[in-house]
Amino acid sequence: MGLLDFIKKIEPDKKKSPFLHTLYDGFFTFAYAPNEVTKGGVHVKDGMDLKRTMITVVIAMQLCYVFGTYNIGHQHFNALGMYPGFLEGFNLKLAHGLIKLLPLFIVANVVGLGIEFWFAAKKGHGIEEGFLVSGALIPLIMPPDLPLWILAVAVAFAVIIGKEAFGGTGMNIWNVALLARVFVFFAYPTTMAGDQVWVSGFEEVAAGAAPYYGWAHNLFDSLFSWGGLDTFKAASSSVIVDGFTGATPLALAYQGGWEAVTDVYSTQAMWWGTIPGSIGETSKPFILIGVLILLLTRIASWRIMLSMFIGASLMALILNAWDATPFMSVPWYYQFWMGSFFFAMAFMATDPVTAASTNTGKWIYGFLIGFVGMIVRVLNPAYPEGWMLAILFMNTFAPLMDHYIIQSNITKRLKRA
């Protein structure tokens, strides 16, 4: 209690220093759970407050962070034809991944939280915990070499236009993390699409291209040399091997169907996630562990997840029957081996603020995301992945779904009355 008393004593005056008080309040509520309740006999207390809800989601995606960090380095050295075994060159792969991911995480959270702190101070209320999840999600859905200034602009756009303009946490109608991604995709498409963006550490992903290493790599080299480990200096003279492609399985599927995919990647590699792609979206087992955590804690809706899977499966079966292009011929069940379906299902579609709230609405909402997302993935030549657009589209219609479902229930009850 001595530390708690000390922290309470240094609380800034809310009127004299509103911004400092907002910062203080944010860090205080992050460290301690409020021990005060509303006076009276009708107060309902629940251990799962907003902070704990958000932290649970962040915990559920930690394995995606661990694997994604390492996979950044694995893809880099795979392009050089070095350390082909997944655990070979462990220190270099992990270090390269940290060098690429940490700046993305820091910039996303500093910009996003900075804006939220400023708005909270202006409004005169406490800092909301809503950006905890968005700040953790945004780095995972970006390419590893995304310029930091583009990320900063995208986060500012998503927080200001997509969230604060609607009133802050709990008021936004679109998923904030997806807004940041869609901003980058449409404003700076060459940094988000194509074969050049998914493998980091090269000016150009082409045969004969040499890697570039900066001061952070040199710093790690000093540590690795001291420990007798392999260094980046030894790899700096290597070049991208002939025949290497930075294309994702989805891009290959669009070009030549399932055969084109399996010529480059095995089904095992696609399942475990040792392939190019957005940082946190490749490893299906680790994402499914996050799904299990969200379901066991009842943070995410199983109705949305199941209906999304049903919708995507149905549309994939229809496309298999149509079979007019190579992509349509990909067996429906292998559609889930490629791309970011499970990540979108677990951490994006189930956002409780932007998803449908009624149980019936959740079934319709999830089903349409899966159905429409598969259409966009397979039939859109410019963008062979569809969950981002499908989720944002259904975010827009989720309030309308709930409205008509509630009105229908009211009408039925009035008739009974």
Token readout for 216 is 């952070």
In this prediction, residue 2 carries a pLDDT of 67
* pLDDT for the residue 126: 63
202 has which bridge partners?
211
Counting DSSP H helices and E strands in the chain, the numbers are: 17, 0
User: Hey, what amino acid is at 249?
Assistant: P
Residue 165 clears pLDDT 70, i.e. is over it: yes
Residue 25's pLDDT is what?
A: 59
Answer yes or no: are the C-beta atoms of 297 and 56 closer than 8 Å.
yes
Q: How far does CA 147 lie from the centroid of its chain?
A: 17
| pLDDT score of 118 | 84
CA distances from 166 to 9, 160, 169, 402 (A): 35, 9, 9, 19
Q: How far does CA 361 lie from the centroid of its chain?
A: 24
Residue 344 DSSP label: I
Tokens of 287: 């994402």
Give the H or E element holding residue 139.
helix 131-140
Q: Looking at 88-102, 170-184, 300-314, 379-393, which range is the least confident one?
A: 379-393
Q: What is the pLDDT of residue 131?
A: 79
DSSP secondary-structure letter at 205? Answer: -
55 pLDDT higher than 70: yes
Provide the token pair at 400.
Answer: 């309308």
- Average pLDDT of span 99-114: 94
pLDDT in tens, 319-337: 999 989 999 999 999 999 9
Q: Is 131 left (phi over 0), alpha (psi -120 to 50) or beta?
A: alpha
DSSP state at residue 119: H
Report whether 26 contacts 128 (CB < 8 A).
no
Query: Are 330 and 253 within 8 A, CB to CB?
Result: yes
Cα–Cα dist 234/413, whole Å:
74
Condensed to tens digits (0 to 9), the pLDDT of residues 260-280 reads: 999 999 999 999 999 999 999
Give the rounded percent of residues in the chain with a pLDDT score beyond 90: 65
User: For the chain, what is the radius of gyration of the CA atoms?
Assistant: 23
**Pair of tokens at residue 60:** 């559920």
105: which residues sit within 8 A by CB, 6+ positions away? 135, 136, 139
SS3 17: coil
pLDDT of 137 strictly over 90 = yes
- 57/60 Cα distance (integer angstroms): 5
pLDDT at 181: 94
1: helix, coil or strand? coil
Q: What is the pLDDT of residue 127?
A: 65
pTM for this entry: 0.87
Higher-scoring residue by pLDDT: 13, 206:
206
User: Using CA atoms, how far apart are residues 286 and 280, in angstroms rounded to an integer?
Assistant: 9
Per-residue pLDDT band for 128 (boundaries 50, 70, 90) equals low
Q: Which of 89-93, 226-230, 364-368 is predicted least confidently? A: 226-230
- pLDDT of 171 reads 81
CA distances 156 to 30, 153, 164, 396, Å, are 23, 5, 10, 21
**Of 193, 231, 198, 194, the residue nearest 76 (C-alpha):** 198
Residues 72-93 have a mean pLDDT of 94
What pLDDT band is residue 390 in, cutting at 50, 70 and 90? Answer: very high
C-alpha distances (whole Å) from 410 to each of 81, 399, 401, 404 are 64, 16, 14, 10
- The encoded tokens of residue 289 equal 């562990």
pLDDT confidence tier of residue 245, bands split at 50, 70 and 90:
confident
The per-residue pLDDT for 330 is 94
Q: Which of 219, 345, 353, 361 is nearest to 290 (CA)?
A: 345
Which of 47-61, 264-278, 380-394 has maximum average pLDDT? 264-278
Average pLDDT over the chain, rounded to whole?
87
**Both structure tokens of 406:** 């509630």
